[in-house]
Amino acid sequence: MSNNLKFYINGEWVESIGQETIEVVNPSDESVIGSVSAGTKEDINFAVSSAKNAFKTFGLSSKEERVTLLESIIAEYEKRSDELANTISKEMGAPLWLSQMAQVVAGKSHFSDTLELLKSFEFESMENNYLIRKEPIGVVGMITPWNWPMNQMCTKVASAIAAGCTMVLKPSEITPFCAITFAEILHDAGVPAGVFNMVHGMGPIVGAALSEHEDVDMMHFTGSTRAGIAVAIASAPTVKRVSQELGGKSANIILDDADIEKAVKSGVNHCLMNTGQSCNAPTRMLVSSKHYEQALSVAAEVANSTLVGSPETEGVRIGPISNKTQYEKVQRMIQIGIDEGARLVAGGVGRPDGMDAGYFVKPTIFGDVTNDMTIAREEVFGPVLCILKYENEDEAIEIANDTPYGLAGYVQSGDEDHGKAVARRIRAGQISINGGAKGPAAPFGGFKTSGNGREHGLAGLHECLETKAIIGS
């Protein structure tokens, strides 16, 4: 990849002003697979200046021009889907089938959904005797994570382009190569110079410079709650809009009228998907005392039969944790669960048998978990499931809401109306009933410390727009 050590600014691949580099590690074998340049504040200044200049024209572009641009991006994205999938698997360890069927597909879906809504979206409307205009907010700074890299980059970029915004992206330093391919896709699709810019680097340097920049009108962030707070603090002096999708500790309430075995199997598999590295993963399973031991047995069976291995290995369900720091955190959290008295019913500390390299974790199930335990309060971000007991439905809802987070929730019920009634009482941004397929255009974002603002579809487009009222005489 010829652009590894360059940044994409003002429609060109340019050298970094700094000299430092960041190594990229394959989490399956801990080998170094390449390096990217570590950006500086000066690199960010150049990128923001380019975006600001480009906004003078792109901010006035027509809806039809932006529709054509999104169509071109989708066409170029499709051409490089296989390349993206292989790159993601090497960078962050997702099994190749998951990279192909979910990681890459999610990105395309966001562009497709945004394209369709843009075609019918009205940027002007009359209310009483005044005109309401929806106008692009301006320059959007974007910071995206490593766990679902294309999903997060694409939803933000699609919304920004549809709105008429320009942008500067800081992708995760752990998954920079798929971001480079993405920048090449946007370039080949004919995105005007300066509309999209990309600078690699570390959060405390590049992310901070972007957040505090006076010419950035909005920060669009996905990541940990801790990092999100830092972005908000850095953004505050310039009073820019801050949209954040942060951590989660989502509850999965299995009601007594559900098919217990089916619900537990589904819940465990969902929690373990992407090696548990999803902010909306259902990591707290709530089961009534009547079915509790059955649930533990079924969950242990699923975990013990889940194949862990390298992304390219046939039949592998989950790959490694994406980086060493996160791997060490997950191992530490599993030990804390044991030390605090939770019952280990599957998995545990250490790598799976036969593995002596790579950031592999045993699929782990804890029983006898109470909601005051560390593993029930804090986001583990690994293949670790806590199963909690409740005595009645009100207690289940109370446990589900007893968390500083509020990103997602799950309800399993034999009666959809019953499930919806429970879902209405859960304080979280997106609730799924009986594993219903998540529409990629559905609004996504959190309550409480899981963030503010919404992504995807119409909600994502509105996030990048300002409202202007023009009042006639």
Task: With H, G, I as helix, E, B as strand and everything else as coil, classify residue 244.
Answer: strand
- Per the structure block, which two tokens stand in for 169? 């992206």
Residue 439 has what DSSP assignment?
P
Task: Please answer whether residues 196 and 167 qualify as being in contact, where contact means their C-beta atoms are separated by less than 8 angstroms.
Answer: yes
Q: Which residues contact 327 (CB under 8 A, 6 or more apart)?
A: 27, 320, 321, 359, 361, 382
| Amino acid making up residue 74 | I
Positions marked catalytic: 245, 279
| DSSP-H helix ranges across 93-175 | 96-98, 104-120, 149-163
User: How many whole angstroms separate alpha carbon 228 and alpha carbon 211?
Assistant: 11
Which two structure tokens, joined as six digits, stand for 461?
A: 């487009």
- Helical residues (DSSP H) of 415-470, grouped into ranges: 416-423, 457-463
Say whether 447 sits in a helix, a strand or coil: coil
| Whether 211 contacts 234, CB under 8 Å | yes
Written as six digits, the tokens of 446 are 């959190």
Q: Residues 218-244, buried b or exposed e (16+ Cβ, 10 A)?
A: bbbbbbbbebbebbbebbeeeebbbbb
